[in-house]
Amino acid sequence: MPSRVYQTEAIVIKRNKFGEADRLLTLYTPGYGKIRAIAKGAMRPGSKLGGNVELLTHSLLLLARGRNLDIVTQAQTIDNFIELKDNLDLISCGFYISELMDSFTEENAGDQALFNLLLNTLRDLSTVKGSDRILRYFEIHLLDHLGYRPQLGKCTGCSRPLPPEVNYFSPAHGGVVCRDCGYPDINARTLSVNALKVLRYWQQCDSASALKIKLNHELSRELKSALREYIKYILEKQLKSIDWLDELNADNGK
């Protein structure tokens, strides 16, 4: 019989009030994937759990299996990403990442590589300049991990090699289409040669290499629009955190 008590690392990707003093947590873990759990009394002043189960906190948790929801019995913070949480722009990026994780992942499907991607992205946001590049790299590799890797090597319409010219990115086709195939697709958007080169490179490089790529304002907006529309097409909805992210970017002239 499996033990009722288990220990795991976890990153809090969603947190809601539950009753008068409890928190309902959505956690992403390396071995169990996404799980939901109750942190009893976490909202009470002086709670031993409170600060250890804040949103976007990496903690070591001890949980007891429950009939419907597991219960957090002990928690110890590993990293609270204080640099991220003290910066309004960065915390908006963190909220976007957490909403992406919650929207794309199923419960109880462990994925160590995906956990590492989430953890390393939060670390990069806390310590490295270039939030736009960090977000785009996360989006590309999240899509890759979950089976939505966009086809960038050849036309998804006719399967011919893509010519080195302006082509189209088509969410419905799952990648890039040539000008002949892209023209009838009213939802396809033009994709420049440089944007395609960056996307191809980011698909196969590590995050440190990705962050070395310099993007001008126009190229950054082009990459953001292509990936955002692809994500919206897959999820069939617009993420709530995007409005706040866009508002802050507008205030900062991005």
- Within the chain, which residue ranges are assigned CATH 1.20.1440.120? 83-251
User: Which DSSP symbol is given to 58?
Assistant: E
Cα pseudo-dihedral 106, 109, 114, 119, rounded to 10: 90
CATH of domain 5-80: 2.40.50.140
What fold does the segment set 83-251 form as a domain?
de novo design (two linked rop proteins) (1.20.1440)
Average pLDDT over residues 156-184: 92
Whole-model pTM: value is 0.94
**Which range (45-54, 226-235, 245-254) has the least confidence?**
245-254
Q: What are the strands of the beta sheet with 189-191, ordered from one edge?
A: 175-177, 167-170, 189-191
- Within the chain, which residue ranges are assigned CATH 2.40.50.140? 5-80
Cα pseudo-dihedral 84, 234, 183, 175, rounded to 10: 70
Average pLDDT, the chain: 93
Residue 173 tokens, joined = 């086709």
| Percent of the chain with pLDDT strictly greater than 70 | 97
**Res 248: pLDDT:** 81
Integer CA distances (angstroms), 61 to 77, 82, 123, 175, 195, in order: 9, 19, 20, 40, 41
Average pLDDT over residues 18-46: 95
> Does the structure show a pLDDT above 50 at 74?
yes
Alpha helices in 68-176 (DSSP H): 82-85, 88-104, 112-127, 131-145
**Element holding 61 (H helix, E strand):** strand 58-64
The closest alpha carbon to 37, from 46, 52, 234, belongs to: 52
Categorize the per-residue pLDDT at 251 as very low, low, confident or very high, splitting at 50, 70 and 90.
low
> Does the structure show a pLDDT above 60 at 171?
yes
**Res 112: pLDDT:** 96
> Does the structure show a pLDDT above 60 at 1?
no
The C-alpha angle 114, 83, 252, rounded to 5 degrees, equals 95
